[in-house]
Structure 1
């Protein structure tokens, strides 16, 4: 498998374009099942996760065509005819979010058999909410031999559904299914992440009737069919925030383009408090820091959007390893999301973890060492730490990184980072979707 080596000590200067959002793209891809007309997605990232899901869609008979468009990378999906509604374990296990094809298949064809996604390295994320919501919409669901078999021969029916807690995946999944349900569906305690808003607006473009977008209550009036069209994927706020942390860690001046500053406000507020200079621009931010001046330790607690994103917690922890003082980080979303802490400690970081709290005591310097990525966001946190670690940091199992970051070495290298990929045999492992 590939690895990435980083030689620390270089400041960053230049510009980094932000790719389309992975967490939006994969749900928009699933939405292509809902229509028999072509759906063109522009600003599409080219990632392991989008390739995994593309293969699954092809299993159903969907034509998937990647190409270069006038505004960058785009993919055309044509689900004119659904030839199969079976999603095998070998494909679903590679990415948990692929379970979200169940609702669109059920809404479009009246039946589906989809594998349960299996375990997750960053904590338990059961699909009970998904199954309960589809049942409330009138589906008859049975679990057998690791598969979810669902039927709705007379179509789905609208219902009022209040989620017991905020769930991004369940909100997106139910939203897609409800667009073709008969009558009105009301989703209460819905997640408000920007990627959900992107999905909802795309569905409206396709002919769906949705009110309350960007709020915690969504009202969906079912329609008999959806059309195709063209939609541009929103910028990836997690990729953008990761590069902001990288620039803040290494020092220098980096401009993030093709992004939206408002999507990472909770992060940039903390960075300004820590001593980083952040200047919003029309299409992103400029990050500036004097590497000779240590950052100040700042506390954070992860929350649902618009709070501090759990997907940026590992990157922020890496940044705090060399800050002056003690940073307390509370993880409130996933119960097992400090797996990167022991790897950062291999570089000399001082971190103590107790349940959902990590205390990071800043050190003056880190030292390079071999480390291992444990999940997608942990992998990039090790790259960020490696930017300032003395000597060489070698990061293994970077197939996690390839699931969510497009051309990372190229983007950081263009700004002066001493970073390169060492090729190894290909690996396809189960994903954590974050």
Structure 2
């Protein structure tokens, strides 16, 4: 074990970007060498088996949906991640009784006694999650009032809540701004509305679904997000008694109902975590079987993974093992040897290549022979993490131009949102500071693939979306340890 060091030093200059100006911020603050640091001895291929549970991007929204019911809800396969803890705390603040069920990963949420929470209590969670805004519709239905604190989340570009607020107003909410946040009321109840998103935002689509399902009348949402997690949330709401129709061309119609009951639901698996481990297998020249991963949700990623030169094998439940039943399926990912191939990619809304897949995959692309292109079209400031990869020996150049097949909404707006990755590059160890959740896992993969010993600061941020990742690393043969 490394010796405990008490002195304070400035962290390495791999800082997150200000969400408005793009300038480096917060991580220039001093940290102790003993706080939240993982020592990574790189250069060892990851090999073994791990399991993913329910999707982070669905679980928290399904927990919020429990507020809408008049009877308890049961959610299964819930990962032990920080976002779940935050939403659980917010539910409990509002009088929802949340208990662990009989099965591992089961949550029982009883909304019988929903009540208002004080702004001070809610503000305790301000800065730790962007979930509070999704409480508005359910709380307006249940209590006639709601409060939105200052919102947190990863600094990967502005994610304005303007449409959330405008949509709530269209439903009939009254919004009063105050220094501590926004107070909402619905003196005449909430009513259906016709809405169209300027961009198929996942968060805005969730807001409309959670509000419209109990609003009086019919709501029509155009240009809606249709990600698998959105479809799973619709399944949850339908189980509760909702009437929701998904039409062609991103149109969702919701017929409001006067009351809903609880649900019992096993969520789709986390396709982002599964892809992250796949990228780790490729970058470290290893082999990782991800139990629980589902092919249908990852087809776009799997096509890219194979185009690069990675191999994978899909095993469905109860098949592939003669004479054995009850075996959980998954996907095994591995590097078959030889050179990886460069690719040109654009992130996009579903069914395109997911923005949360790009950071881990870029680390693997540093090992491909030739020039790869990554054009980020979802968040305009999501390539700042590449500075740290360059410090480790990668050759990545970022550009303001749209380097994809078509111009995107960030073109000519002074955002560096395209990257060219030249490889293969020999990565070497470095001291890293995690800027946000997905970039943080990408930095961790780079440290695992690099030669030498890296120190990764701020690793607790990874717990926001990756359950028990340190024990999973140990199960895969990684040589990591907490600095203590």
Q: Same fold (TM over 0.5)?
A: yes
Residue equivalent to 1:84? 116
Query: In the TM superposition, what is the alpha-carbon distance from 1:369 to its structure 2 partner?
Result: 1.2
In the other structure, the counterpart of 1:334 is 379
RMSD (Å) for aligned C-alpha atoms: 1.7
Unaligned runs of 5+ in 1: 424-434
Distance, in Å, in 2 between the alignment partners of 1:34 and 1:238 is: 28
| Equivalent in 295, 301, 312 of residue 357 of structure 2 | 312
1:213 CA displacement: 7.4
SS in 2 for 1:117: coil
Q: CA deviation at 1:6?
A: 1.9
- 1:238 matched residue in structure 2: 272
Inter-partner Cα distance in structure 2 for 1:94 and 1:368: 30
| Alpha-carbon spacing, 1:214–1:12, altered in 2? closer, same or farther (3 Å) | farther
The match for 2:63 is 29
Q: Answer yes or no: is the 8 Å Cα contact 1:108–1:180 preserved in 2.
A: no
290, 301, 304: which one pairs with 2:336? 290
Structure 2: tracts of 5 or more residues without a match: 1-34, 317-328, 400-415
Of 293-302 and 311-320, more deviation after overlay is shown by: 293-302
Aligned residue pairs: how many? 420
Give 1:429's aligned residue.
none
- Farther off after superposition, 109-118 or 177-186: 109-118
Q: 1:356 aligns with which of 414, 417, 425?
A: 417
The question of whether the paired residues in 1 share the 8 Å contact of 2:49 and 2:476 is answered with yes
Q: Distance in 2 between matches of 1:100 and 1:7?
A: 41
Paired position in structure 1 for 2:105: 73
Supply the distance in 1 between the matched residues of 2:271 and 2:132 (Cα, whole angstroms): 21
Shift of 1:159: 1.2
- Cα deviation for residue 146 of structure 1 reads 4.2
Distance in structure 2 (CA, Å) of the matches to 1:139 and 1:334: 29
Measure the CA separation in 2 of the matches of 1:43 and 1:119: 24
Shift of 1:9: 2.1
Flag the structure with higher strand content.
1
Matching residue within 107, 110, 134 for 1:100: 134
Q: CA deviation at 1:86?
A: 4.7
Deviations along 1:8-34, one digit per CA (max 9) or x if unpaired, are: 222233212112111101101111111
- 1:363 CA drift (Å): 3.4
Secondary structure class of the residue paired with 1:322: coil
Work out whether residues 197 and 213 of structure 1, in 8 Å CA contact, stay in contact via their aligned partners in 2.
no
- What is the TM-score of this pair, normalised by structure 1? 0.93
User: Using a 3 Å threshold, how does the CA distance of structure 1 residues 118 and 18 change in structure 2: closer, same or farther?
Assistant: closer
Check if 1:367 corresponds to 2:437. Answer: no
Decide whether the 8 Å contact of 1:179 with 1:220 is kept in 2. yes
Q: Could you say which residue in structure 2 is the equivalent of 1:139? A: 173
Greater Rg over alpha carbons, structure: 2
1:116 and 1:54 map into 2 onto residues whose CA distance is 18
8 Å CA contact 2:72, 2:108 repeated in 1: yes
> Deviating runs (4+, > 4 A) in structure 1?
none
